[in-house]
Amino acid sequence: MNQLNNTITLPQGIGLLVTTMMGTGVFVLPQLTVQEAGFSALLAWLLLILAMLPVTWVFAELGKRFPHAGGPSHIVSKAFGETQGKIIGLLFLLLVPVGAPAAIEITIQFVHVLVPLSGVQTLIVELAFIAGLLLLNWQGVQASGRIQTVLTLTMLVVVLAISLKQFSGHTISPQTSVDFNQWPLIASAAGLAFWSFMGIETMSHLSAEFKNPKRDFGRALLLGVTVVGLIYLICTWIILQATPGSNALAMVDVFDQQFGQGGRWVIGILGVFSGAATVNVYTASTARLAFSLSEQGALPIYLSRLNQHGVPSNGLITTSILVALVLVLAQVIQIPFEALVRWTNGVFVLIYLFTMVAAYKLLQGKFKIIAIFGSVVCLLLGVSLGINMTYALALWASLILFYAIARAVLQRPRPTVF
């Protein structure tokens, strides 16, 4: 059996997770949640962060005990059999048609801040973007981990600088209370904000590539989620206190108000690179899942081939081509990226739910209780997404039907030949 390289250290793992989770969302999602729920967006973020900590703890324990490129697919296979595991793995792969375009279209918002582009120019930039990430991943995610660790520190410095300037400027709004009668809006904002925590699942596909997964994988997840949660809370507060400006991205106006000028370049450049980090881990984890499913016989053996750097190169190329094709379709269909984000969240909620249920079966002691709590969290997130869960449920039902038909065909008795 082919083996993936064990090269990711704890700092690189934290860098990969934090930049993935901050990624396309850190300068965009707080603004969208404020538009959704006003000042109550703070409560939505706080509740979501607290709810995701036990879910993260379960993922961390699973990653330490069962490190594997298949991630949740492998976990569900161990708990409920190969067929169910393959369904979860294929669910993640089928997430690409909405997840990748959503992440890239959000990233392109930052490109537009720097350079206005026409529709055709935007598509060319997006395709070049995918080609660049293919080259970056060709030698393994450890190179990405080093780059993204530096990027994480830079973004933290910028957010901290804006925060200190904001809090020392005596411009605190008199509105400091949350309207507890806005639960539907709070739930909707939390369902949208869930996009920021999707890196937990994508990182699980890389657990087998940590140098010491039992020691470092869990730490990377818990530290990363805590840091990211605090950053999103701070960014939401900053946007609530800022004076509205002329830019489509509120964080650009916030930077200009606090430092005079330069927000367009600082926020724009950081947004582009952090968006690239998100799509980078998307691509890397999808290629590794394809590698794992190919090894299990669920996908063509072609996808299990590794290059000289131990990277599933055919899976990486195939994933990149698929994302490029989807980008072209997304440009033609013109679906708002907010809708794509919610559809993507729905698929991840389903994957997380099955992982929590599998964890209840596989783990012992206190982790069974934590897995139950995580399952309840996932169910509540599904309810908060409402009709946007349709895409995820339709995919899941289609895969179950496909395997049921395949099983019936394989079990059909062959006619006797005399």
What is the C-alpha to C-alpha distance for residues 311 and 290, in angstroms, rounded to an integer?
A: 12
Question: Residue 397 has what pLDDT?
Answer: 93
Question: Residue 4 has what pLDDT?
Answer: 54
Question: Where are the chain's structural domains?
Answer: 10-71+103-328
What is the C-alpha to C-alpha distance for residues 23 and 16, in angstroms, rounded to an integer?
A: 10
Phi, psi torsion values for 413, nearest 5 degrees: -65, 135
243 SS3 class:
coil
Residues 6 or more apart whose Cβ sits within 8 Å of residue 365 = none
User: What single letter denotes the amino acid at residue 309?
Assistant: H
Residues 6 or more apart whose Cβ sits within 8 Å of residue 406 = none
Question: Residue 145 has what pLDDT?
Answer: 59
> Which residues is 210 bridged to in the sheet?
8
> Which residues is 8 bridged to in the sheet?
210
What is the C-alpha to C-alpha distance for residues 174 and 71, in angstroms, rounded to an integer?
A: 46
Q: Which of 165, 143, 206, 151 is nearest to 19 (CA)?
A: 151
Helices (H), 245-303: 250-259, 263-295
Question: Residue 177 has what pLDDT?
Answer: 58
Residue 210: DSSP 8-state: B
- The sign of the dihedral angle between the CA atoms of 109, 257, 194, 53 is positive
CA angle 315, 318, 321 (to 5 degrees): 150
Q: Which of 269, 192, 253 is nearest to 30 (CA)?
A: 192
What is the C-alpha to C-alpha distance for residues 5 and 118, in angstroms, rounded to an integer?
A: 42
292 SS3 class:
helix
What are the tens digits of pLDDT across the range 97-120?
Answer: 778 778 888 888 888 888 888 878
Prediction pTM value: 0.79
Question: Residue 218 has what pLDDT?
Answer: 77
User: What single letter denotes the amino acid at residue 232?
Assistant: Y
Q: Which stretch of DSSP H or E encloses residue 218? A: helix 213-241
Q: Which of 81, 73, 79, 83 is nearest to 404 (CA)?
A: 83
What are the tens digits of pLDDT across the range 83-92?
Answer: 888 888 888 8
10-71+103-328 adopts what CATH topology? Amino acid/polyamine transporter I (1.20.1740)
What averages of pLDDT result for each successive group of 10 residues across the chain (418 residues)?
63 74 78 89 92 88 77 87 86 79 84 83 87 78 63 79 75 54 86 84 68 78 84 89 75 84 84 78 76 75 76 82 82 79 91 94 92 95 92 92 79 57
What is the C-alpha to C-alpha distance for residues 198 and 286, in angstroms, rounded to an integer?
A: 13
What is the C-alpha to C-alpha distance for residues 202 and 20, in angstroms, rounded to an integer?
A: 9
Q: Which stretch of DSSP H or E encloses residue 379? A: helix 366-385
Question: Residue 418 has what pLDDT?
Answer: 45
Residues 6 or more apart whose Cβ sits within 8 Å of residue 158 = 266, 267, 270
Neighbours of 157 (CB within 10 A): 10
What is the C-alpha to C-alpha distance for residues 227 and 80, in angstroms, rounded to an integer?
A: 34
Q: What CA–CA distances, in Å, run from 39 to 160, 175, 177, 250, 314?
A: 21, 8, 7, 15, 47
Q: Which two tokens stand for residue 281?
A: 């881990």
Question: Residue 352 has what pLDDT?
Answer: 93
